[in-house]
Amino acid sequence: MNSKRSIVITGGAGFIGSHVVRLFVNKYPEYNIINLDKLTYAGNLANLKDIEDKPNYKFVKMDICDFEAFYQLMQDEKVDGIIHLAAESHVDRSIKDPFTFAKTNVMGTLSLLQAAKLYWESLPEKYEGKRFYHISTDEVYGALEMNHPEGIEPPFKTVASSEGHKAYGDEFFYETTKYNPHSPYSASKASSDHFVRAYHDTYGMPTIVTNCSNNYGPYQFPEKLIPLFINNIRHGKALPVYGKGENVRDWLFVEDHARAIDVIFHEGKTAETYNIGGFNEWKNIDLIKVMIKTVDRLLGNPEGTSDKLITYVTDRLGHDARYAIDSTKLQKELGWEPSLQFEEGIEKTVRWYLDHQEWMDNITSGDYEKYYEDMYKGR
């Protein structure tokens, strides 16, 4: 790939996107990095205050569904790479409003693909040196059986594997796993994945798709489990645990995901799919207990102070039992693996949120309070 590049990162003011933007701006000063974001409730330019004045960084407020505007941007900035993270991503919101998820995640992705196709095909070199990298989710695969609820020795380990780390089933999501989405969110992402692959198969566009497990870390909007519960523990509010808290998720520190995106964008094979996972399964209730213990300790509270906040609520509709990604393909082919054990990552994450209370307070006022009330009332 060329050393002088012009790269659009969609959703760059969001949680994962802001970490990717920061990494690329700092690591590649010769690149022109364009952060394209609509600034919905989950987008926050305060996430990028530390790099907003860098000469190789530009922010553009734009809706990815605006085909004409994006096509013009492609021409104006001579874009040769797209890293597509912009998406509606909260499962609970998708259950209440599936139309918004279909519009943004499906039609928005199609808008980007078509604009990229028209611009790149108009150039003398066509698709040479170009790349459309689409970031997706493990939720498109559906659910895995939890046939070892007691936990077993996992079949793979990395430098980030904790001692005593368990797997809760025999099966894992592989790049070849058949899609079986169960929520409006995962259905919309599955559709967008198929469109990306179709643009390669039909037009020859150089595309890559990755499917990643649950991310955690700084700057995550507090509708998601970890920042939500850290904030609630801090304020002595109830911790709404879906069902019995037995659902299992694989967790990955967000900066490790950003590193994976970097190596895949630059070294990944065109038309390939790569799974990105933390090799790190946790039952929700066990994760919550780790957070309680960590927050109480850092706040100087006696151990067990916040245990009473655990409140079991009605389970989410269609709540998948277990997600677990096998990302050994990425590990073997491109040399990536997670760098942080979960206990290290959660400590770092809790400290960040407690040290950035103003950031959290600004987000959890106004509209957020109404959302929280609507989401959890009657449960």
Q: Return the active site residues.
A: 138-139, 185
Give 322's contacts (C-beta < 8 A, 6+ positions apart). 143, 144, 145, 146, 168, 169, 247, 248, 249, 281
What are the start-end ranges of the H helices in 39-183?
A: 67-77, 91-96, 98-101, 108-121
By CB neighbour count within 10 A (0-12 exposed, 13-18 middle, 19+ buried), where does 334 fall?
middle
CA dihedral 50, 55, 56, 58 (to 10 degrees): 70
Beta sheet of 281-283, edge-to-edge order: 214-216, 248-253, 281-283
Beta sheet of 81-84, edge-to-edge order: 57-61, 32-37, 6-10, 81-84, 131-137, 207-212, 273-276
- CA nearest to 258, candidates 8, 36, 21, 35: 21
Instruction: State the pairing for strand pair 6-10/81-84.
Output: parallel
